[in-house]
């Protein structure tokens, strides 16, 4: 109980420092930089009832003032009566803050020749590792080799 209390106090102090930092920034100091980088371990994911964890080095060095990265999650679904399920949690390696984790839930069934794409922001701290953790929490694949997912780094957000 004492350990949990100390962790909570430390989290509160960290949040106060983050709020102070944000309050000192000028309005409009955030900037989106677009890129299209292949994450080789996540380029074509075809998983069935397994939950691996991928540790992916980012293929670029991010500026020191990077505050978040932007990933795209693309699903290629080619056959009807098939399944393409992929649920995950993703975050920066070394960042154990629950608020710095992003979750994805993808459930596609019985659609013929469709693609799905969305983008997701993940908080980033350049003093930590330049690695992305992508932990699959659920997967299900049926319908052949033409159902798959791809995750790419498509941008990052910097602040002044």
User: pLDDT tens for residues 7-31?
Assistant: 888 988 888 888 888 777 667 788 9
What are the φ/ψ torsions at residue 21 (nearest 5 degrees)?
-60, -45
Residue 125 inside a domain? The answer is: yes
Instruction: Answer yes or no: is 23 within a domain.
Output: no
Q: Is the pLDDT of residue 80 over 80?
A: no
108 lies in some domain: yes
Return the sign of the alpha-carbon dihedral for residues 58, 152, 45, 73.
positive
Residue 95 resides in a domain: yes
3-state helix, strand, coil in the chain (%, to 5): 20, 50, 35
Name the one residue in this structure whose structure tokens are 């989290």: 11
In a domain, 20, yes or no: no
Domain carrying residue 98 = 28-159
Which among 90, 77, 89 is positioned nearest to 141, based on CA atoms?
A: 77
Residues of the chain with pLDDT > 70, as a percent, come to: 98
pLDDT at 18: 84
Does residue 103 have a pLDDT over 90? yes
Q: How far apart are CA 75 and CA 132, in angstroms?
A: 20
Residue 131 domain-assigned (yes or no): yes
**pLDDT grade for 110, boundaries at 50, 70 and 90:** confident
CATH of the domain at 68: 2.60.120
Structure tokens given for 37:
């980088």
Is position 66 within any domain? yes
| Residue 88 forms part of a structural domain | yes
In 58-123, the DSSP E strands lie at: 66-77, 83-92, 102-109, 114-123
Phi-psi region of 75 (alpha: psi -120 to 50; beta: other; left: phi over 0): beta
The proportion of the chain whose per-residue pLDDT surpasses 90, expressed as a percent, equals 66
Confidence of residue 67 (pLDDT cuts 50, 70, 90): very high
61 has pLDDT over 80: yes
The total of structural domains in the chain comes to 1
Residue 74 has pLDDT above 90, yes or no: yes
């Amino acid at each position: 109980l004492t350990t949990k209390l100390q962790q909570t106090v430390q989290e509160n102090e960290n949040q106060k420092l983050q709020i102070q930092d944000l309050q000192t920034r000028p309005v409009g100091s955030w900037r989106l930089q677009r890129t299209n980088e292949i994450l080789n371990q996540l380029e074509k994911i075809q998983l069935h009832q397994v939950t691996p964890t991928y540790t992916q080095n980012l293929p670029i060095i991010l500026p020191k003032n990077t505050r978040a990265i932007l990933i795209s999650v693309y699903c290629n679904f080619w056959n009807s009566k098939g399944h393409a399920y992929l649920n995950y949690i993703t975050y920066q390696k070394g960042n154990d803050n629950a608020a710095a984790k992003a979750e994805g839930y993808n459930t596609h069934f019985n659609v013929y020749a469709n693609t799905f794409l969305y983008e997701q922001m993940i908080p980033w701290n350049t003093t930590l590792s330049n690695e992305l953790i992508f932990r699959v929490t659920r997967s299900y694949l049926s319908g052949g080799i033409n159902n798959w997912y791809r995750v790419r780094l498509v941008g990052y957000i910097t602040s002044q």
